[in-house]
Amino acid sequence: MTFDAAAILRFVALFARNWVLLLSPLILLASACGGGGSNIILDPIPPVPPAAPGTPTYSNACAAYTVASTTRQGERDGQNCFYSSNFVSEDTPLTVDLTIPTIEGVHLFEATLQVGIDTASGVPADGPTLTIEAGNTLAWLNKDDYLLVTRGSKLQAVGTATAPITFTGYEDAITGTAAYDDVQLWGGIVLNGKGITNKCSDAQRANDTCHVESEGKPSHYGGNDNTDSSGSLRYVVIKHSGAEAAAGDELNGLTLNSVGSGTNIEFVQVYSAFDDGVEFFGGAASISNLVALYVNDDSIDYADGWVGFVTNALIIHHRDNGNRCIEADNQGNVFDAVPNTNGTINNMTCITSGSLGAEGGGLGTHGDSEGILLRRGAMSTINNSIVADLYANDPGGVNGNECLELDESETRAHAANGATSVNSSVIACDDVGKDALADGEGIDDWFARGAKNVAIHGSSESTSIDSNIQLLNGFYTAPAFVDAAGESFTIEPVNGATHIGALTRDNDWTAGWTICLRARATESCGPWFL
């Protein structure tokens, strides 16, 4: 095809965004004819498609911020970014908004990443927001450092199912020397909120003088606003946490200190933690779609007036080390403190191992592997849940691996008067319950007469993994239930749920973003019972 020069310019201008004009001595032929035209080839190249949803776009720059005309920025080290204590620490807290861009490597911190200024007097001011882009990995060089978000500040850590955000330690992220069940490689995540805790009086809350000191290095939480927001955590994996941040004071994977209901927390995994997986100290924060795998202490712990919800929780103990799926307290020293702890657990699957603590001759660092412990005056509502001992370690009749325990008279009184209830749930353990109500009724009998509950007692040390107890398909809720006698039974979920337990094979919300949940043939860290 022959064009004159003007036609070529018009043509190129029209299609400049989508076509590339290739001129080569081999394909550009000058014509000897009088028109001065040329023969050319136009090679179409389609535009680069945008990144698929959830696919991270990598940055070449480390995070940076400017305060008082001084700019601080992380240092590039190959694919990683290194942030010294001069960038951020307890002594140099972040006071302006900061975004951590997605990089192919790791964001490594030398000190505690403190967002906002901690205050122990007056009304905490609104602080900065730390935004962590999807697909990032953040790690800490020193074991006693962690991520702290102060009252009034916010954490926006929003990953996706294909690009979760990971928080971990140096040995895991940088050297690759961490074993699958290593713990205490760093501290954990601590959010301090302005919500209500029963460690403060009504007068303190009304006068803005509620300042409770947190676990770990001293910081403060508490207030009078249970709707407060500390930001969002979505598709987040917290690995190898639980180091001592202060002498004798280990941190949890995720600590929520009086965090309010305005905080959005969903799709969170806590993996290989020395202390608790998630612990609520007051407030009204809720979590949906939680995975707690290989937590050495309590997977879910709540106290001090917490009134939130946990919905869809998959908890699997390590075969040798793990304490309780749930531990609930009102207040450690004042069992009738108000407002009373009154948490709600919907659709939990709790898989205990039968392991024992050191006192029983086992390897458990925090005690025996157990199901649910309500104590010190706590109230709770537990719906549509499964607690099952799936490992043959359970020494039948020892009563050390009970799956439901109500400790102290104040706690049992709540069960007797209906303030605490378990509904549409199954407990399948050698030791179903421990203790008794004031009238002498055993806890296992109290559970069995609850709304639509089923208790399956083991009759030998190996019954807990007998093929006749078909409650789970791997860690999925089985489509049909069979008890220890081989009899089928059904349970109708409450509150409009479609199933009991955390998840089914047809609705697997753990797929794609969690670690170490699949068959051991593909991941050596996977649950032992698969």
> Quick one: which of 188, 160, 348, 193 has its CA closest to 263?
193
Which helix (DSSP H) or strand (DSSP E) does residue 272 occupy?
Answer: strand 264-273
User: Could you give the CA distance from residue 178 to residue 181 in angstroms, rounded to a whole number?
Assistant: 8
Task: List Cα–Cα distances, 200 to 123, 168, 207, 307, in angstroms.
Answer: 15, 33, 11, 16
User: Could you give the CA distance from residue 209 to residue 453 in angstroms, rounded to a whole number?
Assistant: 44
The pTM of the whole model exceeds 0.75: yes
State the average pLDDT for the chain: 87
Which range has the worst mean pLDDT, 27-36, 194-203, 466-475? 27-36
Percent of the residues in the chain that have a pLDDT greater than 70, as a whole number = 84
User: Could you give the CA distance from residue 463 to residue 128 in angstroms, rounded to a whole number?
Assistant: 54
User: Residue 520: its pLDDT value, please?
Assistant: 64
Q: Per-residue pLDDT averaged across 120-148, rounded?
A: 96
pLDDT tens, position by position, 257-300? 999 999 999 999 999 999 999 999 999 999 999 999 999 999 99
Cβ neighbours around 81 below 10 Å, total: 26
User: Could you give the CA distance from residue 238 to residue 274 in angstroms, rounded to a whole number?
Assistant: 12
User: Residue 474: its pLDDT value, please?
Assistant: 86
Q: What are the extents of the domains in the chain?
A: 2-44, 71-377+396-410
Which range has the worst mean pLDDT, 186-190, 351-355, 435-439, 502-506? 351-355
Token pair 């961490």 in the structure block, residue: 178
User: Could you give the CA distance from residue 23 to residue 19 in angstroms, rounded to a whole number?
Assistant: 13
> Residue 87 has which token pair?
């960038």
User: Residue 395: its pLDDT value, please?
Assistant: 52
User: Could you give the CA distance from residue 158 to residue 209 in angstroms, rounded to a whole number?
Assistant: 33
Q: Given pLDDT bands bounded at 50, 70 and 90, which one contains residue 54?
A: low
> Quick one: which of 164, 103, 188 has its CA closest to 514?
164
Distance between first and last Cα of the chain: 67
Q: Per-residue pLDDT averaged across 481-493, rounded?
A: 85
Q: Given pLDDT bands bounded at 50, 70 and 90, which one contains residue 485?
A: confident
pLDDT tens, position by position, 337-387? 999 999 999 999 999 988 889 988 899 999 999 999 999 999 999 999 999
Q: Given pLDDT bands bounded at 50, 70 and 90, which one contains residue 227?
A: very high
DSSP 396: T
pLDDT tens, position by position, 517-526? 986 656 679 8
User: Residue 12: its pLDDT value, please?
Assistant: 33
> Quick one: which of 188, 101, 98, 104 has its CA closest to 147?
188
- 426/467: higher pLDDT: 426
Q: Given pLDDT bands bounded at 50, 70 and 90, which one contains residue 19?
A: very low
- H helix count then E strand count, the chain: 5, 42
Residue 398 has pLDDT above 90, yes or no: no
User: Could you give the CA distance from residue 319 to residue 526 in angstroms, rounded to a whole number?
Assistant: 11
pLDDT tens, position by position, 166-180? 999 999 999 999 999
Which range has the worst mean pLDDT, 43-47, 191-195, 229-233, 353-357? 43-47
- 437/6: higher pLDDT: 437
User: Residue 391: its pLDDT value, please?
Assistant: 59
User: Residue 399: its pLDDT value, please?
Assistant: 55
What values do phi and psi take at 182, rounded to 5?
A: -65, 145
Strands 19-22 vs 41-44: parallel, antiparallel or unpaired:
antiparallel
Provide the residue type at 448 as one letter: A
Which helix (DSSP H) or strand (DSSP E) does residue 416 occupy?
Answer: helix 409-417
Token pair 């702890």 in the structure block, residue: 341
User: Residue 86: its pLDDT value, please?
Assistant: 98
What values do phi and psi take at 9, rounded to 5?
A: -65, -45
User: Could you give the CA distance from residue 310 to residue 343 in angstroms, rounded to a whole number?
Assistant: 8
User: Residue 30: its pLDDT value, please?
Assistant: 34
User: Could you give the CA distance from residue 223 to residue 88 in angstroms, rounded to a whole number?
Assistant: 26
Residue 8 has pLDDT above 50, yes or no: no
User: Residue 459: its pLDDT value, please?
Assistant: 46
pLDDT tens, position by position, 184-198? 999 999 999 999 999
Strands 476-482 vs 488-489: parallel, antiparallel or unpaired:
antiparallel
Q: Per-residue pLDDT averaged across 387-409, rounded?
A: 75
User: Could you give the CA distance from residue 272 to residue 479 in angstroms, rounded to a whole number?
Assistant: 30
Query: Counting every residue, how long is the chain?
Result: 530
Task: List Cα–Cα distances, 290 to 142, 171, 210, 482, in angstroms.
Answer: 27, 25, 30, 27
Residue 393 has pLDDT above 60, yes or no: no
User: Residue 95: its pLDDT value, please?
Assistant: 97
